[in-house]
């Protein structure tokens, strides 16, 4: 047997950050655009944009800075706020993994 859990953070009962949403933000960072992140995650651009907008609205801060096209092309990058939230979420996820593993071992080990 192995324990399983899912981690997400809410504001006023609405999801703000989850493993999936963190992956979306990381995809924006690695792809350099929301459209590239959407393609990478195999979701419609509209869905990616909506989820980012939801996170930003619920947190009250910008997570993705965008630049429209032109001579240097368009793109997107994570803001320092997004980097901070991702780092905190990663630490929490690591802490939860340790806690779940320890609690599982304590409660399901053979006597």
Give the pLDDT of residue 74: 76
DSSP state string for the chain: -------EEEETTEEEEEHHHHHHHHHHHHHSSHHHHHHHHTS-HHHHHHHHHHHHHHHTS--EEEE--STT--EEEE-HHHHHHHHHHHHHHHHHHHHHHHHHHHHHS--
Give the pLDDT of residue 84: 98
**How do residues 8-58 score in pLDDT, each as one tens digit?**
999 999 999 999 999 999 999 999 999 999 999 999 999 999 999 999 999
Average pLDDT, the chain: 94
Q: What is the mean pLDDT of residues 67-71?
A: 72
**How do residues 55-65 score in pLDDT, each as one tens digit?**
999 999 999 99
pLDDT greater than 80 at residue 110: no
Query: Which structural domains are found in the chain, ordered by start?
Result: 8-108 (1.10.10.10)
pLDDT band at 72 (very low <50, low <70, confident <90, very high): low
């Amino acid at each position: 047997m192995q324990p399983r859990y899912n981690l997400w953070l809410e504001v006023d009962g609405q999801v703000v950050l989850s493993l999936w949403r963190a992956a979306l933000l990381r995809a924006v960072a690695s792809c350099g655009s929301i459209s590239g992140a959407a393609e990478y995650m195999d979701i419609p651009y509209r869905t990616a944009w909506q989820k980012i907008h939801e996170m930003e609205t619920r947190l009250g801060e910008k997570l993705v800075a965008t630049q429209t096209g032109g001579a240097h092309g368009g793109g997107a990058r994570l803001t320092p706020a997004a980097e901070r939230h991702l780092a905190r979420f990663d630490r929490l996820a690591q802490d939860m993994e340790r806690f779940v593993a320890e609690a599982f071992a304590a409660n399901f080990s053979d006597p």
